[in-house]
Structure 1
C-alpha cells in the first residue's frame, strides 16, 4: 500500500446471487471483472467466519476465528465441482433481491449441504479432503466438534454444557467424537468446500490483479470454539462465564458507549505462550487475503473493560494491553506486516506511537471531517498523510447520500460547501466526496459500493449499537450502470491510482 491505488468495500454476502445471499460463485467473479475494468486494485471485505443467527448474523460475532462461513459456499460452484447435481438445487426459493433473508437462506442451504454430504460419504477418493483435514487439524478438529456439540445441546451455550464437556475432559471428548462422528465429518466437509471455493476465488483475484483486504474483529464471541478451547486466554469466572465484557466508551456513535458482549482477553496468559493463538489467527487470515484490517486496533494497546451485566458501557474502564509486544513478535516472523489499523474513535498517543513504530497505515473517513474545527480535523483532505487508507465512509456509517440528507448537521453541510467552494445539491454530494478522496495524497482509497451507486440509507450495512436489522443489504445487478466502470476508471487514471 505504498503506491497510489484504490478499491471498493463490499462484503461477499452483499453480492448478487440467485440463492438469497452473496457467495463465492458467479456474482463474485463478475465483481472481480468489474473491479479490473474500473482500474481498481483492492477489494475490501468484512470477516468471513461462521456467524450466529442469535447475533443478527453479524460477521463481527463469529463462532470461530479460523473457520469459513458455510453461507458463502456457492451452490453453483458445488455443481461445477461435481459435489452435487443441478437437480439437487431445486426447488430454489424466490428470494428477495435487495436484502438477505437469513432464516430462509440458512434453511435452503442446509438442505443442499445435506444432499451433497450424503453423496460425499459414498465417494471413495477422499485423498484431497484428508490432506485438507490434516493440514488444518490444529483448529479444524476443535471447531467441528464444537459445532457438533452446539447442535446437540442447542440452545445452550458451551458454558452450560455437561461439566465434563464444558471442561474438555479428554475421556469425554473421545467419547463424544465417536458418538457425533457423522456430524463432525459433515462440518469438516463444509470447511473443505469453503476452502476449495475460496482458493479458486483467490486465484481469480490474483489473475485480475485484485488484492483482497480482509478483516479481523479484535474480539471473538463467547459462544465460540476459541473460548471453549482456550478459556484461560479470556477473563472468565469460576463457572467459565465472562467476568467482564468488551465494548467502547461513549463516542461519536453512542452517548452511552457500546457493549459488545464478547469476553476480553487475559493478556498475561496469552503473552506467556508467545502470543501463539493470536499469531496463528493472523497468519491463517494472511494465507487467505493480501492485507488485514484489524478492527478496533486500539484494543491491542488498551481496551475498555465493562463489568458483565452492565446496562451501558459507561461503567467500564481502560486496561492496558501488550499490543506492542504482539506486533514485535509478528515482525520478527515477517519483515513486512500487511496490517491496516482501524484507528477511529478515542485514539491515545501510545496507540499512534505503536502505529508509527510498525509503519501501520490508519483510516481517514471523510464524513468525519466537516464538523467543528474543520481546519484542524485529522480527516480533512489537507491534513491527510500519505501513508493511510482514505474512505468516504465505512460499513458502520450511513452512505454519503443518506448521511448528507438525514444525518449531517447544518454546520457540516455548510462546512462541506465552503470547503468545496460552492453550494451543493444533495444528488452531487457523493461523487464530490469520492473525488476528494481520490485526489488526496493518501496512498490508498477505498469507496463503499453503496457510495459508487449513490444509494441512500436503505442500503446501510450496519448501525453501531443496534442489534437487529443489520448486515442485510445486497446490491442488485440492475443497480450497476454499464457506464460506471468506465467513469470510475477515468477518475482512477486522472488521479494516478491505476
Structure 2
C-alpha cells in the first residue's frame, strides 16, 4: 500500500509570485565530463539562493542510451536514476575510491562528450562497487531491494542487456522475452555479480540524491522534475509490464506507436515509435494494472522532486495512434485517453499532485477541459507569442489566469538570442517583440533581456528562465532540436558563468516584479528564515 504523498507547499497554486531557472543536471560544471550531484550542483545552488530563485527545473533523470543520442526522454527505465549523475568526488569522500582514481582526461567544459564520459564514469563505478561489496555493502543492497519494488527487474534487465550485446529485450531468447519464471531464476543465479553492480549504481544514485534534496531544502529551493508520458519500447517498463501496452502477442513488438499528426511544421507529422498504453482496451484487469503502474510511477517521481512537469499532457485526453507498420504519422487516428477519472483515482491514492502540464502544440477543447477541470497550471512559452496575432494565447496580455508557468523558451526551443538571429524567423516577429516591449532600437543580441522582462512582468505566478537565456547565449548552446537524431543534450554551463553579478542582477529584477522570496534565503545553505 502506497502512502499518500504530502506537500508542504501549494506549488504554482500558491499566491506568491516566484521565479526559477531551467538547467539540466548534466549541464552543470565539473571536471568529470558532465554535471553530477556533487560540487557543480552546489555551485548552482549558491547562485540560485543569491539570485532569490525559488525553483530549479530539470529534465528527466533516468538512465540514457547512446542508441537514442542520450536523450533523457528515451530511457530504459522510468524509475531508475541516471548513474552519470553519481559524483565521483562524493564516492571518494565515502572511501569507495582513492584520489588517485580520479584522473579524468581533458574533457570539454562546454559540451558533454557522452561516449568518453560514459566509459570513464562506468570504470569508476565498477571500481567503487568492488570496494563497497568488500566492506559489507551487500546488506544495504538487500534493504534497497525490499524498499524499491522495481529494482530487481531493473538489475536483471540491465544484466541481460549486457549479456546479449545490448539487443532489445524482444530479441532475447523467447523464454526470457516472455519472462518465463524458470528462465529468469536461472539467469539471476548466473548473473549474480552483475545484478549486484546494477543494484549498487542505484544505491549510490539514491544516496546522493537524498543528500542533494537536503541541500536544496536548506536553501529554500524547490525542484521541478519532468515526467515523459511514454516509455521506450526497449525498456524494463515494457518488458516487465507487457499486458498494459499495445504489443503483438507473438513478436512482442508494438502494434500501434505514439506520435503527433501532420501540422503546419511537418507535412508527415512525427512518428515517435513508443508503444501505446491499452487505455479502454483490456477490461477491468488491464485498467487496474495501468492504474497501479502509473501510481507507482508518480509515487517514485514525487519521492525525488517537489513538482512535476508532465510532458505531452494532451495524450491523457486523446492520443495519436499510428499503426506500427507505418513509417510516418499520416495514417494515425485519435484515440481516447483515460481522462479526468484517471487523475481523480491517482489523487485518491497519492494525495495532492503538484503538476505543471505541458499543454503546447495541438491543444483541442477536450485537452483544455481536462486541464481546467483538474485545476492544473499550463505553460506559456513567449517564443510562440509573436506571430502577429494580438489574440495569441502566449502573449502576456492574454494570460487568462495567473495559475500558469511562463517560460522564455524550453529545452526544445531555440535560445532567445538564437531565435532573434535566425534568418528563418520572420522580421515581422522580431519587430513585434521589440514593439511589444517598446524598445524598437534594441540590438538583436539583447532579445533575451526583452523576453526575460516580459516573463518576469507577466501575471504568471511562476516564471522559468533557461540558463542559456539568462546568459544571452546563441543556438550553439541549444539543448535540443526536435526531430533531429544526433548532437543534442550536450550543452554544459561553465563554472565561470555563475557570477555574483548575474545573480544580483536577477535578484534585482525579481524584486522589481514582486518575485523575490518573502522569506530570506541563506546563500550559505543554513536554512530559510521568515
TMscore range, shorter length: over 0.9
Aligned to 1:10: 23
Question: How far off is 1:82 after superposition?
Answer: 2.1
Q: Distance in 1 between matches of 2:265 and 2:71?
A: 18
| 1:484 aligned onto 2:499 | no
- Asked if 1:179 is matched to 2:190, the reply is yes
Deviations 1:62-92 (A, max 9, x none): 00010000011110011112222211223x1
Query: What secondary structure, in the 3-state scheme, does the structure 1 residue paired with 2:125 have?
Result: helix
Residue aligning to 1:354: 370
Find the counterpart in structure 2 of residue 119 from structure 1: 131
CA distance in 1, matches of 2:154, 2:364: 36
Distance in 2 between the 1:422 and 1:87 partners?
A: 55
Q: Which residue of 2 aligns with 1:148?
A: 159
> 5 Å matches for 1:237-252?
237-238=248-249, 239-251=251-263
Distance (Å, rounded) in 2 between the aligned partners of 1:372 and 1:320: 34
Structure 1 position 454 matched with structure 2 position 472: yes
| 3-state DSSP of counterpart to 1:314 | coil
**Secondary structure at the counterpart of residue 313 of structure 1:** coil
Q: CA deviation at 1:126?
A: 4.3
The answer as to 2:46 corresponding to 1:33 is yes
**Aligned counterpart in structure 2 of residue 421 of structure 1, from 424, 434, 438:** 438
Aligned counterparts of 1:451 and 1:469: Cα–Cα separation in 2:
20
| Secondary structure of the structure 1 residue equivalent to 2:493 | coil
Partner of 1:69: 82
* Residue 323 (structure 1) aligns with: 339
Cα distance, 1:255–1:338 mapped onto 2, change above 3 Å: same
Cα distance in 2 between the residues matched to 1:10 and 1:73: 17
Distance 1:355 1:315 in 2: 27
The SS at the match of 1:470 is: coil
Q: Kindly indicate whether the alpha-carbon contact (under 8 Å) linking 1:51 and 1:57 is maintained by their aligned counterparts in 2.
A: yes
Structure 1 stretch 448-457 or stretch 347-356: which is displaced more?
A: 347-356
Aligned to 1:175, the other structure's residue is in SS state helix
Matched, 1:365 2:387: no
**How far off its partner does 1:252 sit?**
5.9
What 5-or-longer segments of structure 2 have no aligned partner? Answer: 1-11, 517-530
**Conserved 8 A contact 1:254-1:465:** no
- Residue in structure 1 matching 2:62, options 30, 41, 49: 49
Give the distance between the partners of 1:347 and 1:221, measured in 2 at CA: 24
User: 1:136-193: per-residue Cα shift (whole Å, max 9, x none)?
Assistant: 1x10010110000001012321001001100100000100000001101100000000
> What secondary structure sits across from 1:219 in the alignment?
coil
Any idea what SS the aligned residue of 2:150 has?
helix
Q: Does 1:108 align with 2:123?
A: no
SS at match of 1:31: helix
Given that 1:251 and 1:345 are in contact with CA atoms closer than 8 Å, whether structure 2 keeps it comes out as no
**Cα distance in structure 2, aligned partners of 1:6 and 1:24:** 22
Written as runs of structure 1 = structure 2, the 5 A alignment for 1:21-420 is 21-90=34-103, 92-124=104-136, 126-136=138-148, 138-238=149-249, 239-251=251-263, 254-268=266-280, 269=282, 270-273=286-289, 275-373=291-389, 375-384=390-399, 385-406=401-422, 407-420=424-437
Per the TM alignment, residue 253 of structure 1 is displaced from its structure 2 partner at its CA by: 5.0
Are the aligned partners of 1:461 and 1:470 in contact in 2 as well (CA < 8 Å)?
Answer: yes
Deviations 1:346-386 (A, max 9, x none): 1111111111121100000001001031x101100101120
Say which SS state the counterpart of residue 267 (structure 1) adopts.
coil
Deviation at 1:425, TM superposition (A): 1.6
Number of corresponding residues? 495
- Long gaps (5+) in structure 1: none
SS at match of 2:449: helix
Q: CA separation in 2, counterparts of 1:417 and 1:68? A: 43
The TM-score with structure 2 as length reference comes to: 0.91
- What's the TM-score once normalised by structure 1's chain length? 0.97
Moved over 6 A (4+): none
Q: Structure 1 residues 183, 125: closer, same or farther in 2, change over 3 A? A: closer
- Counterpart Cα distance in 1 of 2:320 and 2:45: 38
TM superposition shift of 1:271: 1.9
3-state SS of paired residue (1:376): coil
Following superposition, the deviation at residue 125 of structure 1 comes to 5.2
